[in-house]
Chains A and B, each alone.
Chain A
Amino acid sequence: MTGVNRLDAPVGLLIDRTQQINFRFEGQDYQGFKGDSIASALCANDRWVISRSFKYHRPRGVLTMAGYDSNTLVQLDHEPNVHADKMMLSEGLNVLGQNYSGSLDQDRRSWLGHLSAFLPVGFYYKAFYKPRGAWRLWSSLIRNYAGLGKVSLATTQEYSDKSYAFCDVAVIGGGCAGLRAAIQAANQGAEVTLIDENTALGGALCYARTNSAESESKEIRQTLLAKVAEQENILVLTNAVANGIYSDNWVAVIHGRRLVKLRAKAIVVATGAMEQPAVFRNNDLPGVMMGSAAQRLIRLYGVRPGRSAVVFTSNNFGYGVALDLLECGTTVEAVVDTRENPTNSLTPLLKEYDVKLVTGANVIAGISTPKGDHVMGVEVVAQNRPLTEAFRISCDLLCVSTGFVPSSQLLSHVGANVAYDRSLATFAVSDIPSGIFAAGSVLNRHNLRTVGDDGTYAGSAAATFAGYKAAGNIQPPDPPDAAEYNHRSPIFEHPSGREFVDFDEDLEVHDLRDAVSDGYEQIELLKRYSTLGMGPSQGRHSSLPGVLIASESTGRDPSILGRTTVRPPYTGVKFGTLAGRSFEPVRLSPMHYRHLEAGAKMMPAGLWMRPAYYGSGNRDSIIREEALSVRNGVGLIDVSTLGGLEIRGPDSVEFLNRMYTFSYAKQQVGRSRYVLMTDRSGVIVDDGVACRLSDNHFYVTATTSGVQGVYQEMLWYNAQWQLSVDVTNVTAAWCGVNIAGPLSRDVIKALTNVDVSSSSFPYMAVREGFIADIPARFMRVGFVGELGFEIHVPSTYGEALWDVLMDAGKAIGITPFGVEAQRLLRLEKGHIIIGQDTDGLTHPYEADMAWAISRKKPYFVGSRSIEIQAKRSTARKLVGFVMPDADKDSVPEECQLVVRDGDISGRVTSAAFSPILEKVIGLAYVEFDQAKVENTFTIKFADGRFGIAHVTALPFFDPEGKRQEV
């Protein structure tokens, strides 16, 4: 059996009575049907307390049955804060309530409710900070009381993905208005995507009872669904939540575990309206729910919401609720109507059932069972009569239908204005931006005929906007009629309190009033101070009474108080859904797998991976060995990650002259030249070499992590300069190696058609040719300070190049070397690494690079700043240093400080033990007057020791550069 409250067919649109589902709630086994939500299955089993509230731990049951409220947030094994009234049952599901200590029914913290007098609004701002330091203790206690669900560290990311979709008209909401809009737009020829958050299309047509016969909405629904099914140009997404509308009609749709990113030419928002609780004492008791929630239980899930009911209403929907209850066997003890003289076609029907009709009266309190876990009656009093005249009606269900607010969240996302409208007694939407349309009860139209007309009208307008004209004239709908449905102010304060305005945060009427008297009058301040609307339901039910209470307390018109800003998402979206499969691009050199085969320890360099060193064992000694191999024999390093830029065109020289600090006019074809780039403030941002391959063609290198920025800057500047030059980033098209060391020429000379002899291929020359039949560019450059050739080949030949060179060098002991050895070798030569030996403020004079600046040309990026800096005194300077007393194991760490008289005067940027010099060497910024060779300065080590460094002329090794020029 799936519950004492289960009703027979035909009610129960969503459930399949042939498929029973077993689940656990609070350790007890239950059964439901396929299609049940957790909450509907629990209600069917007469289980009404589903969770507990945030602040006072009050027992809570279903309120909306729509996933709009936070009353029934429950805990699953790996997911906290799940809407029990929305989450579909699945076999074996294990469900717990939230916010209790002990058990859901016996909460050890339910005493918190009795302390409410001592926990006024914003109580944590008023206490817990004396004596000094007290908050540290209190906060850990309060943190444990706060929070909703628990997250398990064992949770793993389930598969989720993303798709891109396009349509002419997106219709959001598949109720009467949305269906009519979709049909109309499709009729006009538009491709339509219809999105609905529910399992079944139809919105309120699935459960609400209009004024006439019960069958009316069912018939309308069938007709509209049939028309939608006929239209081939309507794509229907159900169980799909349009969770936000972002710039340019970019709709985020959560469809299961897929994030559908939908671009629509036009959008119709037909998201309906949310029925609102009335504010009276104990309005949060389990058994007190919206009229529409009772109808959802009955018609969607076939669950009887109670045995004896009172319906509290201000509109004719309440009468439909009463009839639905009667038809499912619930006794309706009374219909309490706030109106003096309600006119209603359903009244005679109620009379037939002998239902007592109490008009001109208010429910002012729910009466709780002694355990406090359910409603057992209501207190009713005639309007304008003292509370002493209140009378009681017993019941175990109170259905409230006193009014609506539009579900206008998505319209707020796109910047529409939502403010209180006195004439409609609810919020109204205005200033909807172009391309977005709305229809139905989101525009405060409730009459079914008007809703349908509005849908057709909006669907037509949206299709027209998207370029599909209507055949004839579409009549505009009747004006909004919400005034007939909304109580003007369903707030009934009670001397004993407990009239909840915000169920998420347990805020009572006096809390808001108190917050206003604390000075928080602006609606945003009221929200932030009282936490009104800050909970998971984001003010869906508290915003309207909040504005009304603030208005009454401040004497300001509710329509000018505005309302708090509504922001995305519409409903809670999982981190995993937004993240999707999380593509983190990684770039691999064409020789990557050769490095892995050689046992390389890889390290990230920008988006790339590069070998740090090869082999396992003592890192420092491996690096030193690799470096010595280059100095004494020959080494091979993969330089594929270096940026490569092709600069072609008659203005190439002029372009380089403007982008870089040097001058390139006299650079000969077949030669390379250093390039140094500064930004507009004269700060060094990149370097490399420019190889002149022909008069109008340069091949320029850039740093691994800098090339993307360099390329963007080049495009950005040339968009203004309009020079006749083409710039292409060819980093990925080329790969390359640097073969370096005294024996490097011996390795390549037999492999290439280029004459590599010293006389015909001197230092800084560039050649094009072949190596082992691979087309290649050869450059003689000297970053590591040895005879060396940089060989660039098309990327597809990367592995072949590596293999050829390793084979050819095998006999003489060629050694692959990594980034770390390269850093050491270049340090011995005093070459800087941009970003390590420079920082966000380093200009060329500080880095001793005045030699790289041409002062003869009229302009380069940063030249004006550098001119100004040249005239100022330079505060700091990058110098080389040696630590005469240090051994190889006490090398200063990069970024340790240079101190002088107790103040910071600089820092070490690079330091290492040089195996060839057998000295600790490094680069450091020091104050300008410390920078003279032979001066000493003090380095502060991590352990607080100080070391004396001697300023040394650069380079440390082979100062005449004989080794690289042989």
Chain B
Amino acid sequence: MPFGLIKHGLAKTYPFRRDIPAPHELKDSYDVVIIGGGGHGLATAYYLAQKFGIDNVAVLEKGYLGGGNTGRNTAIIRSNYLTTEGVRFYDESVRLYRELSNELDFNILYSERGHLTLAHTDSALRSMRWRAEVNKHLGVESELVFPDDIAKLCSCLNLSDDVRYPILGALYHAPGAIARHDAVAWGYAAGASRHGVELHQETEVLSMDISDNAVTGIVTNRGRIKCGYIVQAVAGFSSLLSKMAGFQLPIRTIPLQACVSQPLKPILDPIVVSGSLHVYVSQSDRGEFVMGGSTDPYPLYSTRSSLEFMEGLMAHILELFPFLSETKVLRQWAGMADMTPDFAPIMGLSPVSNYYIDAGWGTWGFKATPVCGLRMAELVATGIVPDVLRPFALGRFSAFDLVGEKGAASVGH
């Protein structure tokens, strides 16, 4: 029994500390306003205060903390990307994640389970090799493995040839991990709040005052506030918010659905992904199978569920794990994915002088939470775009400097 729990059990009063502060009034003005109280916004706030000493910061969240895509993703963390820029960026994130529970003094349940991306065609095998070679070259643990090794890594996987798409090989990424997504948001929220950041839930941004190409004020449902700098971190609503700030983003917003099974005793250790079958699956610490697939076939601002998604996903899950046929689905849900043309995010400067963007997170945002928070905070604090963010500038779309990450998206989109 860990000391923390013994101490707790013997304490007379509850609790030792409050993670999320009670609601309070908005001030008239903040040095930095972060729009969006998800993982990215809260991480940015945390590092601004903790690392750069900027604590006159407000995080505005229209709903509840972590209620957007932070609380809707399937919580997979990996750095086995395709481009040098991508691998470096996500590798820094993985390194921060590994230390995060201790950094935040909040257990985010970070579990390195290993990550298998299955290849069912020779072209998929080629792109797995490409990723493995790039990863290894940059010091990230990835390798191409074949069915005999896969059987050892994931004994419950159906490796039979007698299926529509037999498994020819896989990209194995040992550091691949899952975490409790909510806990990441809460840990950063608690940390930011301990360092003086104000967290305002149920506070929606309605419009912005713009003069001389700068945002001077933000109108919320709780009144108008002034601000020095603004960071937008509102995955799923990025285009709508940037429109308020007066510029456009090359983003199409498409629902991405996911589901969980009822809890089962542990049977699946690694995270298993198949691009050809449009499936990713892992088993959570609670025992639920957490499953996702490709984005919906058309753009839509809605988190409704669809039956077709479940039918297709389950058919493919059973091709990989036929023994789950009598297992039951507990719940399905959807998030909204801001898809960019090159499947890479948009971070850094915007056309508005005091307005920074953190957007275009498609289906890959959760795993970038720590590095994005840290580097966006650095950008706000220093005014200089950190090297690791530089390739992801908004300007790349007009300059034809894309970061081609489509080949490393977990499943086809």
Do A and B interact with each other, yes or no? yes
Whether B286 pairs with A147 at a CB distance below 8 angstroms is: yes
Of B120-128, B236-244, B365-373, which binds chain A?
Answer: B120-128
Compute how far the CA of A134 lies from the CA of B5 in the bound complex, rounded to whole angstroms: 14
Compute how far the CA of A575 lies from the CA of B64 in the bound complex, rounded to whole angstroms: 32
Interface flags for B32-75 (1: CB within 8 Å of A; 0: not) read 00000000000000000000000000000001111100010000
Compute how far the CA of A510 lies from the CA of B130 in the bound complex, rounded to whole angstroms: 54
Whether B110 pairs with A575 at a CB distance below 8 angstroms is: no
Q: Could you say which residues of chain A place their CB within 8 Å of the CB of B332? A: 567-569
Whether B325 pairs with A155 at a CB distance below 8 angstroms is: yes
A331 at the interface (CB under 8 A from B): no
Give min CB distance, A109 to chain B, whole Å.
13
B216 at the interface (CB under 8 A from A): no
A899 at the interface (CB under 8 A from B): yes
Q: Could you say which residues of chain A place their CB within 8 Å of the CB of B328? A: 81, 572-575
Whether A517 pairs with B18 at a CB distance below 8 angstroms is: yes
**Given known contacts A135-B107, A517-B15, is B64 in contact with A522 (CB within 8 Å)?**
yes
B349-363 with Cβ < 8 A to chain A: none
Interface flags for B306-337 (1: CB within 8 Å of A; 0: not) read 11001101110111001111111111110000
Whether B14 pairs with A135 at a CB distance below 8 angstroms is: no
Most chain A beta carbons < 10 A, residue from B10, B261, B327: B327
**Given known contacts A118-B1, A578-B329, A586-B164, is B21 in contact with A519 (CB within 8 Å)?**
yes
Q: Could you say which residues of chain B place their CB within 8 Å of the CB of A147? A: 263-266, 286-287
A716 at the interface (CB under 8 A from B): no
Q: Could you say which residues of chain A place their CB within 8 Å of the CB of B190? A: 519
Whether B186 pairs with A136 at a CB distance below 8 angstroms is: no
Give min CB distance, B171 to chain A, whole Å.
11
Q: Could you say which residues of chain B place their CB within 8 Å of the CB of A136? A: 111-112
Whether B102 pairs with A130 at a CB distance below 8 angstroms is: yes
Compute how far the CA of A868 lies from the CA of B323 in the bound complex, rounded to whole angstroms: 54
Whether B264 pairs with A148 at a CB distance below 8 angstroms is: yes
Q: Could you say which residues of chain A place their CB within 8 Å of the CB of B66? A: 525, 528
Q: Could you say which residues of chain B place their CB within 8 Å of the CB of A894? A: 126, 129
Q: Could you say which residues of chain B place their CB within 8 Å of the CB of A569? A: 329, 331-332
Whether B318 pairs with A518 at a CB distance below 8 angstroms is: no
Interface flags for A82-104 (1: CB within 8 Å of B; 0: not) read 00000000000000000000000
A134-151 with Cβ < 8 A to chain B: 134-136, 138-140, 142-144, 146-151
**Given known contacts A154-B323, A244-B305, is B18 in contact with A132 (CB within 8 Å)?**
no
Q: Which residue of B lies closest to A149 (CB)?
A: B264
**Given known contacts A125-B106, A244-B305, A252-B307, is B326 in contact with A536 (CB within 8 Å)?**
no
Q: Could you say which residues of chain A place their CB within 8 Å of the CB of B67? A: 524
**Given known contacts A135-B107, A575-B314, is B263 in contact with A146 (CB within 8 Å)?**
yes
Give min CB distance, B145 to chain A, whole Å.
12
**Given known contacts A155-B323, A158-B325, is B5 in contact with A576 (CB within 8 Å)?**
no
Q: Could you say which residues of chain B place their CB within 8 Å of the CB of A126? A: 4-5, 8, 106-107
Give min CB distance, A509 to chain B, whole Å.
13
B209 at the interface (CB under 8 A from A): no
Whether B8 pairs with A120 at a CB distance below 8 angstroms is: yes
Whether A576 pairs with B265 at a CB distance below 8 angstroms is: no
Whether A681 pairs with B341 at a CB distance below 8 angstroms is: yes
Compute how far the CA of A134 lies from the CA of B317 in the bound complex, rounded to whole angstroms: 32
Give min CB distance, B390 to chain A, whole Å.
16
B182 at the interface (CB under 8 A from A): yes
A897 at the interface (CB under 8 A from B): yes
Compute how far the CA of A931 lies from the CA of B87 in the bound complex, rounded to whole angstroms: 26
Whether A519 pairs with B2 at a CB distance below 8 angstroms is: no
Whether B324 pairs with A151 at a CB distance below 8 angstroms is: yes
Q: Could you say which residues of chain A place their CB within 8 Å of the CB of B129? A: 893-896
Whether B322 pairs with A157 at a CB distance below 8 angstroms is: yes
Whether A574 pairs with B137 at a CB distance below 8 angstroms is: no
Of B89-97, B220-228, B381-389, B401-409, which binds chain A?
Answer: B401-409
Q: Could you say which residues of chain A place their CB within 8 Å of the CB of B99? A: 132
A250 at the interface (CB under 8 A from B): yes
Compute how far the CA of A432 lies from the CA of B120 in the bound complex, rounded to whole angstroms: 46
Contact among A142, A157, A247 for B318, CB-based, below 8 A? A157
A841 at the interface (CB under 8 A from B): yes
A117 at the interface (CB under 8 A from B): yes
Compute how far the CA of A605 lies from the CA of B120 in the bound complex, rounded to whole angstroms: 10
Compute how far the CA of A58 lies from the CA of B15 in the bound complex, rounded to whole angstroms: 26
A256 at the interface (CB under 8 A from B): no
Compute how far the CA of A126 lies from the CA of B108 in the bound complex, rounded to whole angstroms: 9
Compute how far the CA of A143 lies from the CA of B134 in the bound complex, rounded to whole angstroms: 34
Q: Could you say which residues of chain A place their CB within 8 Å of the CB of B126? A: 836, 894-895
Interface flags for B148-189 (1: CB within 8 Å of A; 0: not) read 000000001000000011000000000000001011001100
Q: Could you say which residues of chain A place their CB within 8 Å of the CB of B306? A: 246-247
Q: Could you say which residues of chain B place their CB within 8 Å of the CB of A868? A: 400
Whether A81 pairs with B262 at a CB distance below 8 angstroms is: yes
Whether B264 pairs with A150 at a CB distance below 8 angstroms is: yes
Compute how far the CA of A558 lies from the CA of B319 in the bound complex, rounded to whole angstroms: 46
Q: Which residue of B lies closest to A139 (CB)?
A: B111
Q: Which residue of B lies closest to A944 (CB)?
A: B136
Whether B15 pairs with A604 at a CB distance below 8 angstroms is: no
Q: Which residue of A lies closest to B14 (CB)?
A: A514
Whether A895 pairs with B127 at a CB distance below 8 angstroms is: yes
Whether B402 pairs with A146 at a CB distance below 8 angstroms is: no
Pull 20 A–B residue pairs with CB atoms less than 8 Å apart, ordered by A: A80-B264, A120-B8, A125-B187, A129-B107, A151-B265, A155-B326, A156-B322, A156-B323, A518-B18, A519-B190, A524-B67, A525-B65, A529-B186, A568-B305, A575-B318, A578-B313, A681-B402, A682-B400, A840-B406, A907-B130
Other A-B contacts than A244-B305, A524-B64, A567-B305, 15 sampled, CB-CB below 8 A, are A117-B10, A118-B5, A127-B3, A139-B285, A149-B262, A154-B323, A155-B326, A246-B305, A525-B64, A584-B165, A836-B123, A839-B407, A840-B406, A865-B400, A895-B126
Residues of chain B having any CB pair with chain A under 8 Å = 1-6, 8-10, 14-15, 18-23, 63-67, 71, 84, 99, 101-102, 106-112, 120-123, 126-127, 129-130, 133-134, 137-138, 156, 164-165, 180, 182-183, 186-187, 190, 201-202, 261-267, 285-287, 304-307, 310-311, 313-315, 317-319, 322-333, 341-342, 400, 402, 404, 406-407
